[in-house]
C-alpha cells in the first residue's frame, strides 16, 4: 500500500501501473445520428454460420452411407382414386350397352338386360359413395377437391339417367328397335366407351382436351337427333309418341351428364392444380 496526499491507494504487486485503454471504434468515429448506418466493421466470414455449416461433414448412417433426401410432393402418388373412378366410368359404358340391349330386344325378353342395368346402377352408387368418402378423408387430392367431386357426381348422374331410361322403355313396352331412341342410345354407347378408354386421364385434367372435345361433338350429334325426333313425334300420329318422348328426354339428360363431366374437367384444367 502506498501513501498519497489523497489517502492510501491499493496497487497490485504483480502488475505494473494501469495502462490507458485503447480508444474504441465508436469513440474514434463519434456517435452516429439515429437511423444512420454505423461505421464499417471488419467481417470475418470464417466465423459465419453458413461457412461453418458448409465446412461441417454430412451426417452418415451406421452403414457408412450418406442418407438420401426424400423430395416432398404436393400431389400424392397414391393411386387410391384411380381404380374406383375407372370402375365408375366402366359402369357407365356397360350400362349404355345394356340399354342398347333393352331397346333392341322384344318387350318380353328385356328382363335380363334390365336386371343387369339395375345392378350396374346400384354398383355405381356404391362407387360414388366410396369416392366421396375418400375425398373427405384425403388431405391432398390429386386434383382440386371440388372438381373431383363434380367429376364423380357427373359420372353417377350419367349412370342413373341411363338406368332410368331403360326402366321406362321396359315399363312402357315400347316396340323393339324404336327408331326414335336408337340414335341417342348409340351416342351414349360412344360416350361411355370413350370415357372408359380415357379414364386414366380424369385425374390429369391438363391432358383431357381431346376427350372434352369429343364429348362436345357427340353432344351436338345428340342435340340434332333430339330436335328431329321430337318434331317427328309431335307432328305424327304414333300412339306411342308420348312414351317415346319421355324416354327420349331421359336419354338426352344422360347425354347432358357427360356434358357436366366435360365442364368439370375444364374447370379442373383452369384451376391448374
pLDDT of residue 180: 86
Domain boundaries, the chain: 82-271
Residue 84's SS3 state is helix
pLDDT digits (tens, 9 = 90+) for 92-123: 999 999 999 999 999 999 999 999 999 999 99
What is the per-residue pLDDT across 180-216, written as a single tens digit (0 to 9) for each?
899 999 999 999 999 999 988 888 878 888 999 999 9
Q: What is the pLDDT of residue 100?
A: 95
Residue with more model confidence, 143 or 151: 151
Portion of the chain with pLDDT greater than 70, in percent: 70
Please choose, from the candidates 203, 158, 147, the residue with its C-alpha nearest in 3D space to the C-alpha of residue 184. 158
**What distances in angstroms separate CA 121 from CA 56, 102, 127, 199, one per listed residue?**
64, 15, 10, 18
Helix 145-172 to helix 179-197 angle (10° resolution) is 150
Residues in the chain: 273
- Predicted local confidence at residue 65, as pLDDT: 61
Give residue 249's pLDDT band: very low, low, confident or very high (50, 70, 90). Answer: very high
- The pLDDT > 90 percentage for the chain reads 46
pLDDT of the residue at 78: 47
Name the CA radius of gyration of the chain, rounded: 39
Average the pLDDT over each of 20-24, 82-86, 222-226 and give the range with the smallest value. Answer: 20-24
> Are the beta carbons of 257 and 161 closer than 8 angstroms?
yes
> Does the pTM exceed 0.85?
no
Predicted confidence at residue 37, as pLDDT, reads 54
Chain-wide mean pLDDT for the chain?
79
Provide the pLDDT for residue 51. 47
Joined grid coordinates for residue 9? 491507494
> Which of 198, 176, 2 is closest to 85 using CA atoms?
198
Q: How many whole angstroms separate alpha carbon 102 and alpha carbon 163?
A: 10
Q: Whole-angstrom Cα distance, residue 215 to residue 182?
A: 18
Higher pLDDT, 200 or 77: 200
The model's pLDDT over 136-147, given as tens digits with 9 standing for 90+, comes to: 887 777 778 888
87 closest CA partner among 199, 243, 11, 210: 199
pLDDT at position 171 is 93
Q: Which residue has the cell 491507494?
A: 9
- Could you read off the pLDDT of 254-270 as tens digits, one per residue? 999 999 999 998 888 88
Checking if the pLDDT of 9 tops 60, the result is: no
Pick the CATH number of 82-271 from 1.20.58.220, 3.30.830.10, 1.20.1250.20, 1.10.357.10: 1.20.58.220
Can you tell me whether residue 7 is helix, strand or coil? strand
Q: 187: which 3 cell numbers?
A: 351416342
Amino acid at each position: 500500500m502506498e501513501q498519497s496526499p489523497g489517502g492510501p491507494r491499493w496497487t497490485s504487486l504483480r502488475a505494473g501501473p494501469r495502462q490507458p485503454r485503447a480508444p474504441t471504434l465508436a469513440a474514434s468515429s463519434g456517435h452516429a445520428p439515429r437511423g444512420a448506418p454505423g461505421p464499417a466493421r471488419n467481417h470475418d466470414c470464417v466465423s459465419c454460420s453458413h461457412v461453418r455449416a458448409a465446412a461441417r461433414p454430412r451426417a452418415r448412417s451406421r452403414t457408412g452411407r450418406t442418407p438420401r433426401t426424400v423430395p416432398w410432393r404436393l400431389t400424392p402418388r397414391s393411386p387410391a382414386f384411380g381404380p374406383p373412378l375407372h370402375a365408375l366410368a366402366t359402369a357407365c359404358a356397360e350400362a349404355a350397352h345394356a340399354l342398347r340391349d333393352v331397346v333392341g330386344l322384344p318387350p318380353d325378353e328385356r328382363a335380363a338386360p334390365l336386371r343387369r342395368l339395375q345392378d350396374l346402377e346400384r354398383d355405381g352408387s356404391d362407387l360414388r359413395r366410396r369416392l366421396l368418402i375418400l375425398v373427405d378423408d384425403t388431405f391432398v387430392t390429386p386434383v382440386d377437391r371440388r372438381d373431383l367431386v363434380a367429376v364423380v357426381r357427373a359420372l353417377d348422374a350419367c349412370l342413373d339417367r341411363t338406368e332410368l331410361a331403360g326402366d321406362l322403355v321396359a315399363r312402357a313396352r315400347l316396340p323393339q328397335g324404336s327408331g326414335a331412341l336408337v340414335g341417342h342410345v348409340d351416342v351414349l354407347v360412344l360416350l361411355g366407351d370413350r370415357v372408359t378408354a380415357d379414364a386414366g386421364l380424369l385425374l390429369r385434367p391438363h391432358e383431357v382436351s381431346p376427350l372434352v372435345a369429343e364429348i362436345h361433338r357427340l353432344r351436338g350429334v345428340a342435340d340434332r337427333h333430339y330436335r328431329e325426333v321430337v318434331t317427328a313425334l309431335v307432328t305424327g300420329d304414333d300412339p306411342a309418341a308420348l312414351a317415346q318422348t319421355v324416354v327420349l328426354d331421359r336419354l338426352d339428360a344422360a347425354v347432358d351428364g357427360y356434358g357436366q363431366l366435360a365442364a368439370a374437367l375444364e374447370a379442373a384444367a383452369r384451376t391448374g392444380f
